[in-house]
Chain A
Amino acid sequence: MFWQLQPILIQPDVIFNLFGFPITNTLFCTWIVIIILVALVYFGTRKRDLIPSGFQNFAEWSVESILNLVQGVVGKEKGRKFFPLVATFFFFILFANLFDVLPGIDTIGWVNVTAFHDAHLAAPTGPIVFLFGSASNKIVPWFRPPTSDLNLTFAMALISVVVTQIYGFFYLGAGEHLGKYFQFKALFTHGAQGPIEFFVGIVELITEISRLLSFSFRLFGNIFAGSAVLALFAFLLPAVGDVIFIPLELFVAFVQALVFTLLTLVFMQMATTSHEHEEGEHEAEAEYRQNEEREMAATGRAS
């Protein structure tokens, strides 16, 4: 036995204490992601040439693609309002997800003294130790993908849902926004249908709350399972198995970041359009019509 499979834990490990707070490996990696993002933005906007080249070009291209995507979903005016939050979600989740294909994840860390103690072995001491054989899984890893921690994904889902509600209040006003969920007016105006309308409002409120779970569990489940699969195939088919799964995980990392972003956008769009007059949709429709006409003109010219 050259090495043993890491225990696959749902909860992250505590790697050190800072001012009495336990710092887990996922929190540590969250800080690394933040530092990477700040550095990328700093180097991407340092020179700010009018004709961008090199890294600035790439940074502008990626931000512009996200802006186009956002405006394609919610229209021009709202797109600029929602863009800062959802773009932050996208880039943060993307970099956090990409952590699970980096070398060193789950393999660099402290010697797990309690695991050695439980196995009735003497824990090795020294500044740098290589663990082989049955001792190879007795480490507390320093690095773990931040999004494989349910605390982080739940916190982000909470931000997404709460900000969606705030935008709902902002665009529709408190009365109309709350009126979606508590349809007291319908009780008196809709006659026999009133109680049903009221019930539908309550059902709507429950779907809002269940979104917290769907957002957090999807992201957590995908990345946690992804890193478990990578660890498992590194163990079962060393050097060969992960050739298939690393590209797959790169794709999953991108798709999950995009899915979280787009769903946040879609629900923001739903929360900020009222049932009666759907302005945002008219705007999007007009834009779509323009595009169609342009497309038609272009194909007409071509043929």
Chain B
Amino acid sequence: MDIIEEKTDGITRMNKKPPPSVWESLALVGQLGFTIAIPLALGAWGGNYLDGQTNHRPLFLLLGLLLGLIVGIYGAYRLFARFF
């Protein structure tokens, strides 16, 4: 019984990508936060800078945040896309 379960389990697992090791998972999860946060921070900083240069106070800040969010989410997707 156990052997059959193990075998079917093995077959379903065979069709997927190999799972990452513990250390690799740790590294990837650690990277996930940075991947989302850094583009957001850069977008906010850049937007704020452009707002200071022009006279459209919240416009570029919001655009920068939106761009940062898109980049962050796409980066997070790309980071884990190999395992889907």
Binding site for B on A (CB under 8 A): 69, 72-73, 200, 203-204, 206-207, 210, 213-214, 217-218, 255, 258-259, 262-263, 266, 270, 281, 284-285, 287-289, 292, 296, 299-300, 303
Main secondary structure of the interface of B (DSSP, over half): helix
Task: From known contacts A69-B23, A210-B39, infer whether A288 and B30 are also in contact, taking CB-CB under 8 Å.
Answer: no
Main secondary structure of the interface of A (DSSP, over half): helix
Contact of B34 among A218, A284, A299, A303 (CB under 8 A): A218
Interface size class on chain B is: 20 to 34
Residue interface mask B44-84, A partner, CB < 8 A = 1: 00000000000000000000000000110011001000100
Q: A207-B35, A207-B71, A214-B38 are in contact. List 15 more A-B contacts (CB 8 A).
A: A203-B74, A206-B71, A207-B74, A210-B38, A210-B42, A210-B71, A213-B34, A213-B38, A258-B23, A259-B23, A259-B26, A266-B24, A285-B17, A288-B14, A300-B3
Q: How far is the CA of A1 from the CA of B19 in the complex (A)?
A: 55
Q: How far is the CA of A218 from the CA of B38 in the complex (A)?
A: 11
A292 touches B23 (CB 8 A): no
For this complex, 20 residue pairs linking A to B, each with C-beta atoms less than 8 Å apart, are A73-B21, A73-B24, A203-B71, A206-B39, A206-B71, A207-B75, A210-B34, A214-B31, A214-B34, A218-B34, A259-B23, A259-B30, A263-B27, A266-B24, A270-B82, A281-B17, A285-B17, A296-B6, A296-B7, A303-B2
Binding site for A on B (CB under 8 A): 2-3, 6-7, 10, 13-14, 17-18, 20-21, 23-24, 26-28, 30-31, 34-35, 38-39, 42, 70-71, 74-75, 78, 82
Q: How far is the CA of A232 from the CA of B39 in the complex (A)?
A: 33
A207 touches B21 (CB 8 A): no
Shortest beta-carbon distance from B71 to chain A in Å? 5
